[in-house]
Amino acid sequence: MVGWTGNFGADTDATHALQWLAEGAAVFRYAGQPALPSPLVFLDVETTRDHIVEVAAVRLQRGAWPVAWHSWIDPGPAARYRTGRYWNTDIHGLTAPIVQGAPTFAQVAPSLWQLLGDATLVAHNAAFEHAQLSRAFASVGTVWSRPALCTLKLSRRLLPRRKQDGSGYTLEELAPALHIRNPAPHRAMGDVMCTVWLLLALMERCWAAPGLAEALQDAHRLGT
């Protein structure tokens, strides 16, 4: 699946992601960071209170072209008539009519499983994405568990002055500090692309930091 175009926040689909990766030289920048494992899958989900309704992912692997993947997820008829508060619409803008008719998680699970493959999951607050994927795959009878790298934890370790200054570690707060653009905050592909640039920027900025290896090791532990 290449991605669903024409979605709410039209600059968030997989086709645009591939263009951004090329323009930002992501493949070459990633190749220059031997401390990072390969492959990596940067992933973000948007959810109702108990269902995934959007998934986006970018796979980077040394010696291979990047892969971008995006889909809305129809959570089923039981969720369609719930209120906007249940849908978290004020956060991501998604509503039942937007995702109605999209694939169910069961329908996208095989292609998403293949994309994740043997990769390390990368997300900002990776424990959330890991838990959501584990629950979703369990709902279709599959046990999923992969190593994860949390850019939230890594940012806290490598940029400790932000805490001292009272600055935050959300994607919205980190992006301007590291000269990163999030093309669509709180939409799955927008946050995925922001996380790609965040990880690369952290590695390039802190490549000589004496605690980088320990920070990476700590960021691989799930939980915040």
| DSSP label at residue 169 | -
Higher pLDDT, 198 or 17: 198
What percent of the chain is helix, strand and coil (3-state, nearest 5)?
Answer: 45, 15, 40
Give per-residue pLDDT as tens, 183-201.
878 789 999 999 999 999 9
For residues 206 and 16, give the distance between their C-alpha atoms in angstroms, rounded to a whole number: 29
Chain-centroid distance of CA 104 in Å reads: 19
Per-residue pLDDT band for 222 (boundaries 50, 70, 90) equals confident
Secondary structure element (H or E) that encloses residue 17, with its range: helix 14-23
- Identity (one letter) of the amino acid at 130? H
Degrees, nearest 5: CA angle 162-166-172:
70
How much is the pLDDT for 118?
92
How much is the pLDDT for 92?
82
Give per-residue pLDDT as tens, 110-163.
999 999 999 999 999 999 999 999 999 999 999 998 999 999 999 999 999 887
In sequence order, what DSSP letters do the residues of 93-145 get, joined into one string?
Answer: ---HHHHTTSPPHHHHHHHHHHHHTTPEEEETTHHHHHHHHHHHHHHTT----
